[in-house]
Homo-oligomer: A and B are copies of this chain.
């Protein structure tokens, strides 16, 4: 998808979903085109940054005109891999796991929950968001059949590393880690952390120092 074989920086990747979100809103508002200057005003960034970021992937704009909103929206979606459905599973059917399973927003953005796994006999067999909770040991077979790409880990802190290692062996390629610990994964597997406590702590710091 990249323009050249130059490595795209992590900072740029981080900003893509935000562009995607703003463009989605713009599309919904009925506008058809936007300039980097106008978008920068709305997003509170510099126009230069927007043009630099987008040009990592291609020339989506047109001089003297700006960017076609729908086209740019679709292009970024494609870069992010959202042009086809991304199958996900949840490991850990506790409070947070269930809440995520029941959240309808992911599906509308291209992510489809196809399985929930747990080790507790109390949870196995129950139905959450139209998915039967399966025993964790079934993940390997499940992955062979269904090839989910991403797993959200919502197990207790102590179990996280073991679970991630096992799931990576089963073929999971990306982890969204909600536990209060870092997980290490093999080469070629990605992790994004949703360390809620960490962000609460940053907020605590900021509320003291603003």
Chain A: residues with CB nearer than 8 A to chain B?
1-2, 8, 13-14, 16-18, 20-21, 25, 79-82, 86, 88, 95-96, 98-100, 102-103, 105-106, 109-111, 149-150, 157, 173-176, 180-182, 188-190, 192, 194-210
Contact = CB atoms under 8 A, between A and B. Distances in A.
User: Closest 7 CB pairs between A and B?
Assistant: A99-B99, A17-B198, A174-B203, A190-B206, A173-B207, A95-B99, A81-B204
Contacts of A99: 95-96, 98-100
A149 B207 contact: yes
B81 A202 contact: no
Nearest to A196: B194
A73 to B, nearest CB: 13
B199 A82 contact: no
Nearest to A109: B197
B176 A203 contact: yes
B86 A96 contact: no
A204 B86 contact: yes
B149 A82 contact: no
A150 B200 contact: yes
B109 A103 contact: no
Given A150-B203, A207-B174, A207-B190, A197 B17 contact: yes
B205 A80 contact: yes
B206 A106 contact: no
A17 B14 CA distance: 20
B86 A95 contact: no
